[in-house]
Amino acid sequence: MECLEFLSEDGWELKFVKDGQNQPPCERYLAEENPFITNAPLVCLSSGGLDSAAGLAIRMAENPKRPVVPVTVWHQPIQKKIVQRQYGVLRERFKTEIHPLVLKVALLWTSDLKGWRKEWSQRCRSFLFAAVGGVVAAMSQVAAVEVFESGVGAINLPLLAGMVGSKATRGSHPHFFRLMSRLVSLTAGREIVFHLPFLEKTKGEIVRQLAALGLQDLARSTVSCVHYPLRERPHKQCGVCPACIFRRQAMAVGGIEEPGVYKHDLFGPDGETNGVPEDRLDFLKAFLLQVANLGALKSGSRVPERIRRHLFATNLCSSDESMAPFLNLLARYRDEWLYIAAEGMDRDWSWTNLLAPIGAALIGEESHASA
């Protein structure tokens, strides 16, 4: 229950129902059927998103002979097609075996739930996703499941103070995966851990590594929009939701262009960027306010209370000394935004006027965001 409560910030009561099917013992099945006895695969979670595809490509480049078992839990038909196309690109590039498990799920609403408020957030989807990954690891006789999320995304420092529970996902949070590691290990009868190999990297740094491999088109094949599919041709992403903005910032850091992808392009041609309606800038303002707050992360300075509270309350840190890697990560992320904003000022992007004074911020002085 700790896993679910950490994800949702709700109280949970679980009821277990005995499975009436008579299945053979798992050990006997594995001994007879496991195809990976002589070459343990890389088991990972794969969503079709930018971090997921980039992380998988980087890990395959680092382990060119190791077979891969990517696990996808999907609820939209297009997601299945996206990951399958990505696997085709990666097979061709690295000449590596990929054995994907693509599992369809659906949100069922039965008569037993009549009178209850319908749940739309899917905030506990990560529990199902990780549980399936744990089962695959157990059946493949491997000791780890890799999750390709950037450190900034995993930490998920809330953009606004009220973003808790379903409003700020913890689906890739290190503490959630510590809890899942314990649960899966107890269930499997041996240690299985969930590992975040890119925990100390920003999303932009991961994209830059992908670009260095010459896989820009793989990055462009991914989707990140909260509203995807947008169903407004020719655009497939809105460009102004938190997922789009986070992705767009990373692609800019990695030097990968995405012409014509976004309905509202905050990092595109001047006319398009400055033409974004004011009422579509709320999330961008939240990002810029967060960047301004991160301006206080300077050597020797007191850590802002809001950041400190998040790191300790979500069990990322247990002491001031253990905060250092996360503070360094957040400071690099802040600097990525500041350099993009500096370039945007040269290109007369109007939204960059919300973050000032840019020059002072780049040399380590305090910045501020305008409302």
| 295-305 residue pLDDT tens | 888 766 788 88
Q: Which residues contact 293 (CB under 8 A, 6 or more apart)?
A: 304, 306, 307
The pLDDT assigned to 327 comes to: 93
What separation in angstroms does the CA of 243 have from each of 203, 224, 348? 12, 6, 24
What region, left, alpha or beta, does residue 165 occupy, with left being phi > 0 and alpha being psi -120 to 50 degrees? left
Q: For the chain, what is the mean pLDDT?
A: 84
> 10 Å Cβ neighbour count for 50?
29
Lowest mean pLDDT among 270-284, 293-307, 319-333: 293-307
| 173-203 residue pLDDT tens | 999 999 999 999 999 999 999 999 999 999 9
Per-residue pLDDT band at 119 (split at 50, 70, 90): low
The pLDDT assigned to 369 comes to: 46
**Alpha-carbon span 129 to 71, nearest angstrom:** 8
The pLDDT assigned to 359 comes to: 42
Give, in degrees to the nearest 5, the angle at Cα 148 between 147 and 152.
110
Q: What's the pTM value of the predicted model, to 2 decimals? A: 0.87
The pLDDT assigned to 365 comes to: 46
pLDDT greater than 80 at residue 363: no
Q: Enter the DSSP assignment of 237.
A: B
The pLDDT assigned to 12 comes to: 81
How large is the greatest C-alpha to C-alpha distance in the chain, in angstroms?
69
Tell which residue, 112, 57, 121, has the closest CA to residue 89: 57
Q: Which residues contact 315 (CB under 8 A, 6 or more apart)?
A: 175, 178
Tokens 């994907």: give the residue: 100
Averaged pLDDT for residues 242-251: 94
Tell which residue, 197, 229, 257, 266, has the closest CA to residue 54: 197
Averaged pLDDT for residues 66-70: 94
Q: Enter the DSSP assignment of 354.
A: G
The pLDDT assigned to 167 comes to: 55
